[in-house]
A and B are shown apart, each in its own frame.
Chain A
Amino acid sequence: MATAVKLSGITKQFGHLKANDGVSLTIEAGTIHALVGENGAGKSTLSNIIYGLLHPDSGTMEIGGKAVNFSSTRQAIDAGIGMVHQHFMLVPTLSVTENIILGKEESRFLLPGKRLGTEIGKLAGQHGLEIDPDALVSSLSVGQQQRVEILKLLYRKSNILILDEPTAVLSPPETERLFATLRSLVAEGKTILLITHKLDEVLAISDAVSVMRKGRLVGTVQTVETNKEELARMMVGRDVLLRTDNPEQAPEATVLSIDKLRYVSPQGIEKLRGLSLTVRAGEIYGIAGVEGNGQSELLSLLWGTFDRDGRTEGSIQINGKPALGLSPAEIAGLGVSMIPEDRHKSAIVAEYGIAENLILGRHREPAFQRGIGFDRQAIRQNAATMTERYDIRSSAPNDNPPIGSLSGGNQQKVVVAREMERPDLKLLVLAQPTRGVDIGAIEQIHKRIIDARQKGLAILLISSELEELIALSTRIGCLYKGAIRHEFSADEVRRGREHESGFEQEIGLHIT
C-alpha cells in the first residue's frame, strides 16, 4: 500500500514545552488513521504542522513520497491536504456555494453562477452530504455546517483530509452519517486523519490508531488488534478504570420535583412541553437526549438564568419550596449547585486565577469575607485544599495561575470542586460534567459524583454520553422534544448495566 503521509522526528517547542517531541508517523493512503491522546498531548500541534499552520523546529515530512517543507497552508492545500477544524471556518452571511468556493473563485469579480451550485449539489449527493447549495450558512445546523466544511475540501480536490474532533458537536445519528461519508471517501482512495479522544469511535471507524502522550508518539497499532483498555492505557500511561463502581443505594426523600414544566421562548417556540420528574436524595437521575431537545432550557429554568421575556408554566420545587423564577443566588441559597453545559461560557472567568474561580458564585459565603473585601488567607487555603483534594494540576501550583492556562480537564475539576463543596448542598445539577475531559480525569470526576450520591445528595445528570449515563444513573429519563418520553426505573437501569450496548440502543429508540 502507498504511503500518504510520512513524518520523521518532528519536534516543535513552545517556550519550555515540547509540544511534539521526535514524532515519527506513517499514514497509509486510502485508510482512516486515528490520532488519539489526552488534551495537551500534542495532537493539534502535529496536525497543524501537517497542514502548514506551524513550522516544525526539526524533522522531515513526506507527502505521497515527496519531501515537502510547507511554509504556509497555501502550499499544504496545493499538495492536496485539507483540514476541518474543530471550530468551523465559515462565513455565516454567505451561502453554502459561496463558502465552498471562497479562496478558490474562478473569477475575481463575478459571483458564482447557477452552474456552480448544481455542480456542488452533485458533489454533495455523491458522498451522502445532502445540502441546499443556496442556503445561508447561518441557517444551517452544526451537522450541516460540518458537511459544508467537508465539501469545501472535496471541491478543492484534497486527498488527505484532517478532521479535528469532528464528532464533538454531533448527535449520535449525525455521527453515524458522518462515518458513512468517511467510509465512502476512503473507498474512493482518499486518506483521512481523524483526531479524537473518543475511543469507541476510534474502534468503530479507523483502520489504524496512533496514540500520543506528552508530545511523544507512544505507538501505532492496527485497530483490529487492539481494544479500548489497551488504548486507554497507552493514552494515560497507567491502567484506567473505564467503568466506575456503582454500589447500591436506597434513595430517600424527594429533593427536586418538576411538575408539568412548560417554557415558550420569546420567539414563541415551545421548548419544554410539560416536563415532569422527581429526584430523591441519594439518587442520580440521568437525562438522556439528543442536544436541542430542551436540555439547555431546563437548566436555565432550574438555575434562574432563563430569558424572562419567555413564558413559563408548571412548577419546580426544591425541598418543597417553589424555585421557579428565583434568581441564581436565591436558588443557590436553597442548597443547589450547578455545573453548566458550557464551561468556558458559563462557569469560569478565564483571566481570574484558580483561587478566584474556586469562589465564583460562592463569594458571598461569610467564610471568604473580611471587611469590604475577601479574606485572602481563607481563599488561598481553600484553593490549596481543593487543589489537593481534586488533583487540580497546573504549571505553577503556588502562583495561582489564571484558570485559562489550565487544560480543559483541570478547568473542569476546578468547577466540579467549587460546586460540589458548596456548604449545605442538597441538590447537584450536572450538565455534561465530563465534556472535553481526559479519560484519566473522567474517572476521578465519576468517582466524585458517586461519592456525592452516597453522601445523600440528590443529583440530576444531563449528558449526551449514554455510556456515562448508564454507568452513573439510578434512573434514566429520555428527553425528547421538551418532555420526558420514557423513564427507565432503577431496576431496569441496573439490569441495563449488565448488557450495555443493547441498553444503549434501547435508550436510543426513545430519544430519536
Chain B
Amino acid sequence: MSPKRIEPFIPLLSLLFALVAGSLIIAATGSDPLAVWQKMARSTFSSGYGSGQVLFRATTLIFTGLAVALPFKLRLFNIGGEGQLLMGAFAAALSGIALPAGTPALIAVPVLMLAAMAAGGAWGLLAGWLKVSYGVNEVISTIMLNFIALGLVGYLLTNHFAIPSTVHTAEIANGGILPGFDQLFGLNWHSPANLSLFIALGVTAGAAILLYRSRYGYAMIASGLNPDAARHAGIATNRHILGAMALGGAMAGLAASNLVLGYKHWYEAGLTSGVGFIGIAVALLAGANPLWIILSALLFAWLDYGGLAVNTMVPKDIFMMVQAIAILSIISFPAIFRTGLKKR
C-alpha cells in the first residue's frame, strides 16, 4: 500500500498499537489484559452511570481540545488551556453568584457562558498580544499564565469568595444551572453528564465551519501555512494571531459550562484538575481537526474514567501510558511508514 492510502488509517493503527502495548503492560503487572478490558467496557458501555461519566469528561475535553486546535492552525501552541479554563470557570461562578436569584435561564445561561468565554479569551489574548508586540513565544507565555491564573484564582477564592471552612464559592443563581441527562431524558444514571455536551457538539460544528467554510478560516489557515504569502495577499497575520489565541482561550473558558453550570454549580479548588493539559493530547491525536476532536475526546474520556473503574485490578497510571503511547505513535507512524517504504 502506498503511504497516501495508509494515511487515513494512521489514527486507527496507532490506537490499535497503543491498546496492544497497553495489554502487554497490563500483562506485565500480572493481570489478565482481557479481563481488564472487559471490566472497563462493562463499567462504561453497559452502565448508565459509567456512560454518563465518559460523556461528561468528553465534554470538557472537547472544549479544551478545541482550545489547542484553533491556535494550532496558525502554528501556535497553546499550552494555556488550563489557565484559560480556570479564569473562565471562576468568572462564570462569580457572575452566577452576582446574578439576582430569579434570573430566567434564557438570560442567565448566556450571561454565564459569555463571562467564561470573555475571561478565558482575555487570558489567551494576553499571550497573543505578548507574541505580536514583544515576540514572546506563546509556549512560554501560556505556561507562565497558567501559574498566574492558578495563583490569582487561588488567592481570590481563599481570601474573598470561599464560603468559610470550605474551598468553594457560593452556588450560582438557579437560572444559570444547566440540566443533567437524568432531568433531560428522564434517565436514572445519576451521572454528571449534562446539556453542555450538546453545546460542545454545536461549538465544534461552528469551529469546523469557521475554519473550513468561512473567509476568516481561509485567511487564518493561509496565515498559518505561509505567513509571508498571506501578508502579500493583504491578510493581517498579526490580527489572526490575536484572534486565534482569543478564540482558543474562549474555547477553554467555555468548558466552565460543563464544570460549573452543568456539574458543581460553584467554583471549587481543584475543579479543573489538569483537563486543560489533556486537551493538548486530545487535539494532537485529532490532528487539530475539530470533527476528529469529538472522537479523540471520547477516547481519552473513556480511558480516563475506565481506568478509574478498574482501579482495583490495575493502577490507573497504565491508562495514562496508553494515552501517551497513542499520541507518540500517531506522531511517529507517518514517518515510519514513509522511511519504511523508501528503503524497500
Contact = CB atoms under 8 A, between A and B. Distances in A.
B225 A349 contact: yes
B225 A327 contact: no
Interface in A181-219: none
The interface size bin for chain A is 20 to 34
A305 B231 contact: yes
Nearest to B219: A363
Interface in A332-372: 332, 338, 340, 345-352, 356, 360-361, 363-364, 369, 372
A221 interface: no
Given A360-B233, A361-B233, A346 B218 contact: no
Given A328-B233, A328-B234, A360-B233, A346 B215 contact: no
The interface size bin for chain B is 20 to 34
A350 B231 contact: no
B229 A360 contact: yes
Interface string B1-26: 01000000000000000000000000
A399 to B, nearest CB: 13
Given A15-B2, A373-B214, A303 B232 contact: yes
B231 A328 contact: yes
Nearest to B218: A363
A258 B229 CA distance: 25
B228 A345 contact: yes
Interface string B228-243: 1111111110000000
B256 to A, nearest CB: 27
A242 interface: no
B216 A372 contact: yes
A44 B139 CA distance: 40
Contacts of B215: 363-364, 369, 372-374
A180 B228 CA distance: 38
B232 A340 contact: yes
Question: Most chain-A CB neighbours within 10 Å: which of B219, B229, B235?
Answer: B229
Given A305-B231, A332-B234, A345-B229, A360 B222 contact: yes
A98 to B, nearest CB: 29
A329 interface: yes
Contact of B228 (A15, A346, A356, A374): A346
A404 to B, nearest CB: 10
A231 B214 CA distance: 49
A69 to B, nearest CB: 16
Interface string A412-438: 000000000000000000000000000
A352 B222 contact: yes
Contact of A372 (B214, B222, B229, B231): B214
Interface in B194-252: 209, 213-216, 218-219, 222, 225-226, 228-236
A329 B231 CA distance: 9
Contacts of A373: 209, 213-215
B223 to A, nearest CB: 9
Given A15-B2, A363-B219, A372-B214, A352 B225 contact: yes
A338 B232 CA distance: 9
Nearest to A343: B229
B232 A361 contact: yes
A360 B227 CA distance: 12
A303 B229 CA distance: 12
A346 B222 CA distance: 11
Contacts of B228: 345-346
B230 to A, nearest CB: 8
A350 B233 contact: no
A348 B225 CA distance: 10
A329 B218 contact: no
A303 B231 CA distance: 10
B240 to A, nearest CB: 14
B214 A347 contact: no
B88 to A, nearest CB: 25
B232 A328 contact: yes
A427 to B, nearest CB: 16
Interface string B157-170: 00000000000000
Contacts of B229: 345-349, 360
Interface in A294-308: 303, 305
B94 to A, nearest CB: 33
A303 B209 CA distance: 32
Contacts of B213: 372-373
B232 A356 contact: no
A340 B234 CA distance: 13
Contacts of A364: 215, 234
Given A328-B234, A332-B234, A356 B218 contact: yes
A369 to B, nearest CB: 7
A40 to B, nearest CB: 19
A369 B215 CA distance: 8
Nearest to A376: B213
B214 A329 contact: no
A208 to B, nearest CB: 33
B225 A351 contact: yes
Contacts of A349: 222, 225-226, 229-230
Contacts of B230: 349
A302 to B, nearest CB: 12
A340 B229 CA distance: 9
A406 to B, nearest CB: 15
Contact of B234 (A327, A347, A351, A372): A327
Nearest to B2: A15
Given A373-B213, A374-B218, A305 B225 contact: no
A33 to B, nearest CB: 29
Contacts of B234: 327-329, 332, 361, 364
Interface string A67-84: 000000000000000000
A305 B232 contact: yes
Given A345-B228, A347-B232, A363-B218, 6 more contacts: A15-B2, A327-B236, A340-B232, A364-B215, A373-B214, A374-B215
Closest 4 pairs between A and B when the two form their complex, measured CB to CB? A329-B234, A361-B233, A328-B234, A373-B213
26 contacts: A15-B2, A327-B236, A328-B232, A329-B234, A345-B228, A345-B229, A346-B228, A346-B229, A347-B232, A348-B226, A349-B222, A349-B225, A350-B225, A350-B226, A351-B225, A352-B222, A352-B225, A356-B218, A360-B229, A361-B233, A363-B219, A363-B233, A364-B234, A369-B215, A372-B215, A374-B215
